[in-house]
Amino acid sequence: MTDTERLWMVERTYTDRDLVVLIYATPDGKQQLRKELASTMLQRTTITAAVDADPEDLEPVADEETRERYATEVERVREDHEPDDPI
């Protein structure tokens, strides 16, 4: 069985295609997982403060500024929420 990586919610944006884009990042901000959900799915899905993901599903965060911002946001979310908290 593959080990999983814990990622924390760092960004939520809305697109003009009626999608919600959720970004979860590793604590160091260097890797991310992007999820796209139809806005109608938000009513049926609990969005949690953290998710566990297969490391193979993660993408690198391209620039240093974004990595630093994600790492700071992970720290804030971890201080304020348990992993399974709805957010």
What does the pLDDT profile of the chain (87 residues) look like in tens digits?
459 999 999 999 998 888 999 999 999 999 999 999 998 887 888 999 999 999 999 999 999 999 999 999 999 999 999 999 999
Q: Is the dihedral of CA 39, 44, 50, 52 positive or negative?
A: negative
Which helix (H) or strand (E) segment is 78 a member of? Answer: helix 64-80
pTM: 0.91
Q: How many CA atoms lie within 13 A of 74 on its CB side?
A: 21
Q: What pLDDT, on the 0 to 100 scale, is given for residue 1?
A: 45
pLDDT of 16 reads 86
Q: Which amino acid is at 83?
A: P
Domain boundaries, the chain: 5-80
For residue 84, report the phi and psi dihedrals to the nearest 5 degrees.
-90, 5
